[in-house]
A and B are shown apart, each in its own frame.
Chain A
């Protein structure tokens, strides 16, 4: 049976073109970008080229605005802690939406332990940030506000430009985690009014092991990883040249192919949603219109998400994801599903499908058959 991978939000296979491009830097034995000899300079050139390609994807002012990190998690940590600690005279307050990734919420909680005040901005039942609460909760003492471009679990796209205006009225800095959105929808940091933006390589079909942070010109940060002073002193440590070269190439390809690919996936996604919502007591999670073009997320009553995942995988060779407690390390349901107002028992029945380049419209009848079969079988087992 054909394997159908529908979990691109968790990991995406590296693009063969990216691999081919980046592999030569792994094989050629390039120098350390910090070395001054020719081998080092060649490595530096590779890095600067990658920086430029990434800057172009998000329309950054210039390539020096891009700092490479080891992951999106590290970029989020640097953005939040680095900005809050360096700009402490602004105030000891930080804010984030309730549906931020844990790598945004946890550094904020850490700041809270060291005396910062943390405001969690609620979202509505579709995952949209409550703009009135945002206006109330971001104050003149707030240094960093973090709102994601789009959510990885429910696909909702936030109105970043409008959010930026509110945040900037209070002279706070806006950090945007664009891990899920980049390469799917156009991002323009200058038009959107974004001060800091997080990107992940492997969410762009790039190699794992690198991420990037866009930092608006003249915004000052305190490094969270001090050392030899690489990346303008903001992120010490020898750069992962292979992954960085690959991330640059992946960003360039994403920029070129995004419009066409997103339209293609959107048609498949719409068909998926249309068919799955025909199932009894199946509901869409997230926003029906303002959602990522490759993202379809649902919940089913009376069944549990880990069982859905296992059944889809074992019986139909289709890989999906869930926000059920039973798959999490904490055994708590996804904080995102609780934030949009789902009860615990409702959040347990979630299923997330994220499409990518390997998916086609031809796969959809098989996927629908599998979802119907899975829901029916598990409901037959269920006492509810």
Chain B
């Protein structure tokens, strides 16, 4: 079934998103977007020795917002935080076999949410010394 130009992979991640939910006492937390714009994402990470051991998300938004959130958690899981920080919006889109052009910006905030969570982790870590 084809809907508004989404790839099969986008639909798979929309219908069966990976790593949905919240983590209690996360080592890093990121929140991007705004319900007024129609997209809001929360990213939770658990980190051990700078490796992302667990990651979860919650997203309010359209099909691509949910699919990109799911994909970015899959890409980040098990990676070093510095490596995960370099995951771009473009990486997420290409892993999903592309997004419709008008969805590239507004609904592709998942990488930003991950970066926010990693920044939060690093700030907390620095404070601890």
Pair from one complex: yes
Residue A170 at the chain B interface, CB threshold 8 Å: no
The segment from B58-66, B80-88, B121-129 found at the interface with A is B58-66
Please tell me which one of the listed residues B4, B11, B35, B36 contacts residue A327 in the complex, with CB atoms under 8 A apart.
B4
Q: Are A306 and B36 in contact (CB under 8 A)?
A: no
Chain A residues 296-341 with CB under 8 Å of chain B are: 302-307, 309-311, 313-315, 324-327, 329, 331, 333
Is B42 on the interface with A (CB-CB < 8 A)? yes
What is the CB-to-nearest-CB distance from B46 to chain A, in angstroms, rounded to a whole number?
18
A305 to B66, CA, bound (A): 13
Judge whether B63 and A303 touch: CB under 8 Å. no
Task: Indicate whether A384 reaches chain B with its CB closer than 8 angstroms.
Answer: yes
Is the Cβ of A383 less than 8 Å from the Cβ of B4?
no
- The smallest beta-carbon distance between A261 and chain B, in angstroms, is 30
Please report the C-alpha to C-alpha distance between residue A178 and residue B58 in the assembled complex, in whole angstroms. 43
Main secondary structure, interface of A, reads helix
Dominant secondary structure at the B interface: mixed
> In the docked arrangement, what's the CA distance between A327 and B103, Å?
10
Q: Assess whether B62 is in contact with A380, with CB atoms less than 8 Å apart.
A: no
Q: Is B114 an interface residue (CB 8 A)?
A: no
Residue pair B60, A329 in contact (C-beta under 8 Å): no
CB of B99 within 8 Å of the partner chain:
no
Q: Is the CB of B17 within 8 A of A381?
A: yes
Bound Cα distance A302, B15 (Å): 18
Task: Report yes or no: A380 in contact with B20, Cβ–Cβ below 8 A.
Answer: yes
Least Cβ–Cβ distance between B113 and chain A, in angstroms: 10
The one of A324, A331, A381 that contacts B59, using a Cβ cutoff of 8 Å = A381
Chain B min CB distance to A384 (Å): 5
B62 with A304: CB separation less than 8 A = yes
* Interchain CB contact under 8 A, A326 and B38: yes
In the complex, A72 Cα to B37 Cα: how many Å? Answer: 31
Question: In the complex, which residues of chain B have a beta carbon less than 8 angstroms from the beta carbon of A304?
Answer: 38-39, 60-62, 65
Q: Cβ of A384: which chain B residues have Cβ within 8 Å of it?
A: 35, 40, 60
Interchain CA distance A314-B15 in the complex, whole Å = 8
Residues of A within 8 Å of B39, CB to CB, are: 304
Compute how far the CA of A259 lies from the CA of B40 in the bound complex, rounded to whole angstroms. 46
Across the interface, A382 reaches (CB within 8 A) one of B31, B58, B103, B107, namely: B58
The interface residues of chain A lying within 8 Å CB-to-CB of B40 are 383-384
Decide if A344 is an interface residue (CB 8 Å cutoff): yes
Specify which chain B residues have a CB less than 8 angstroms from the CB of A305 in the assembled complex: 62
* 3 tightest A-B CB contacts, nearest first: A326-B62, A383-B58, A306-B62
What are 28 A-B contacts defined by CB distance under 8 Å?
A: A302-B60, A303-B60, A304-B61, A304-B62, A306-B4, A307-B61, A307-B65, A310-B3, A310-B4, A310-B11, A311-B14, A313-B1, A314-B3, A315-B15, A325-B37, A326-B62, A326-B65, A327-B62, A329-B102, A344-B36, A344-B38, A348-B38, A380-B20, A381-B58, A381-B60, A382-B59, A384-B40, A384-B60
